[in-house]
Chains A and B, each alone.
Chain A
């Protein structure tokens, strides 16, 4: 968020609902404020309604109920071509019968920007994604990463109030994706346009966003900064979907934490010690045996079965040889700070 005191609201969504013919409710009741210059990610599994919300902001779908205000104006029933937003599509949606430059110029052309001016702006936009030397190529002559950057230039050249990105990195390989994550973030800082980014990749959401809205079953479960979402998950779903966690509830919570309820305990907050190591002040412990060891490169994940029959995931950075910490079957004690267990609630629609 650019201005912590009085952030201007770019998009304000109130009570939005989308029901498709046939009775499928894709979005239940979503309220969301997006601030000017913010990088907001809509995160959720497929079918959670995040893309439908994005498509309603763009105008491709009209909400069944609720309102969308863009810069203070109600655009709920306005067609896409009259909304000051632009979209980067999952499949890039570049026009195959036009050159790269013509693709980027398209938005300016249909808005009747004079030719010299639009050519200059399109060339500048292509230069900003380092593709100015590809202006005369056809989209099919470009690689996936290049097409992605053309799609970005084609949207940004119009200086929209908000840029919508629908899983734009999904089709790229890992290295390219990581590179594009950094590039996207840099471009966003540079142009200062509000980005709304849809992804199902929680790592992508955490690394790129100012704020993350976690979607599940057509509703927002939690909105917050990446650290808030990860460290203080509001619900059982958020704790499980963003990262890996030990979800301790009912009897398990009673045994391990000393009080009932539901708690999220991240595996990296736990320590593995030799069996019998006493808990320090403010610490809790459990003893058991190592049931499984998964080597992850930078770290190792141990599954520990406690004497009471509970299972705990423990993730340890590989500062030393993983085999030296504990092997399968070894008796161990697991220690953690009492404050690491974060209380979460079960969401209403999950119980049904």
Chain B
């Protein structure tokens, strides 16, 4: 056995093979430092800053613990309205995306012939190749109450406001819902659907009792995208939201003048997301993954 483990490289490889912990450390050292430096640390600083305040005369940052920002957020009716509107828009976008994505994914994954599937996926992804700003400005032209596309074609436009925000955000985030749901639908074995029909279930019952519960984790995955992307958006709101503001706009407006307050508002969206994920976990629907 003299030929084995002779070179230093070989010996090093042998060492790694025997010490599993070192292999994992080598694998994860780089991504973990990236995560900690660029995600966890800033997030922690965000939470800390949210409990600071600014001097109202000088505008200087005051590094002293206070819950003043959150008190303002929870007592000022204007902010409560904005927070609730943000939540409402995110929920509406997610629901509309779900309602649209389920039939589209069902068609793509289980009805369309395998030959067409790659083309359908490509078509579904093409909007993602265009610039975000171009798309939102296009929608601005469509919704504009004065001479917009809708106005000049149908003589009616809902104008700028939360309806326009929901429509545009749904348009923007729909692919993020379709993709996981499509994959989920594709992963359901045909024999399960056959078995359900075989046992006497109509197509509607098979959909409700077998297909939907089995793709539920995919629906959740998609909804995490649409929900969190909608929660944090402020550019669409600025361009087609009219007077309607969302939490993102509040952050955008106050971060230069009152950084701690902006941090507190931003923390709210993070807390809402954590609440959503906890609620999903509670349903137990993800236990069978």
Which residues of A are interface residues toward B (Cβ below 8 A)? 58-60, 79-81, 85-87, 89-91, 93-97, 106-107, 110-111, 138, 154-155, 158
Contacts and interface: CB of A to CB of B under 8 A. Distances in A.
Q: Which of B198, B200, B209 has the most CB of A within 10 A?
A: B198
Interface in B166-225: 189, 191-192, 194-202, 205, 209-210, 213-214
A110 B194 contact: no
B210 A93 contact: no
B58 interface: no
A95 B212 CA distance: 12
Given A81-B199, A81-B200, A89-B191, 16 more contacts: A60-B194, A81-B197, A81-B198, A87-B194, A87-B198, A89-B194, A89-B195, A94-B195, A96-B288, A97-B288, A106-B196, A106-B209, A107-B200, A110-B199, A155-B199, A158-B200
Contacts of A58: 194, 198
Nearest to A87: B198
Secondary structure call for the B interface: helix
Contacts of A107: 199-200
A201 to B, nearest CB: 20
A96 B211 CA distance: 11
Q: Which of B199, B200, B202 has the most CB of A within 10 A?
A: B199
A86 B199 contact: yes
- Give 3 closest A-B pairs by Cβ, nearest first: A107-B199, A93-B195, A93-B191
A241 to B, nearest CB: 27
A111 B209 CA distance: 13
30 contacts: A59-B198, A60-B197, A79-B197, A80-B197, A80-B198, A81-B197, A81-B199, A85-B198, A87-B194, A89-B191, A89-B195, A90-B191, A91-B189, A93-B189, A93-B191, A93-B192, A93-B194, A95-B195, A95-B210, A96-B214, A96-B288, A97-B214, A107-B200, A110-B201, A110-B205, A111-B200, A154-B199, A155-B198, A155-B199, A158-B199
B206 to A, nearest CB: 8
Contacts of B191: 89-91, 93
Nearest to B205: A110
Contacts of A97: 213-214, 288
B217 to A, nearest CB: 10
Contacts of B288: 96-97, 138
Contacts of A138: 288
Contacts of B201: 81, 106, 110
A111 B191 CA distance: 20
A81 B205 CA distance: 11
A86 B194 CA distance: 10
Contact of B199 (A90, A96, A106): A106
A59 B199 CA distance: 12
B80 to A, nearest CB: 39
A59 B197 contact: yes
Nearest to B193: A93
A87 B195 CA distance: 7
Contacts of B196: 95, 106, 110
Nearest to A140: B288
A80 B194 contact: yes
A101 to B, nearest CB: 14
B12 to A, nearest CB: 40
A87 B190 CA distance: 14
A110 B195 contact: no
A326 B199 CA distance: 58
Contact of B209 (A87, A91, A110): A110
Contacts of A80: 194, 197-198
B135 to A, nearest CB: 38
B207 to A, nearest CB: 12
Nearest to A166: B191
Contacts of B200: 81, 107, 110-111, 158
Nearest to B199: A107
Contacts of A96: 214, 288
B192 A95 contact: yes
Contacts of A87: 194-195, 198
B115 to A, nearest CB: 11
B216 to A, nearest CB: 8
A111 B200 CA distance: 7
A157 to B, nearest CB: 9
Contacts of A111: 200
Nearest to B191: A93
Given A91-B189, A91-B191, A95-B192, A86 B198 contact: yes
Nearest to A151: B195
Contacts of B213: 97
Contacts of B214: 95-97
B267 to A, nearest CB: 36
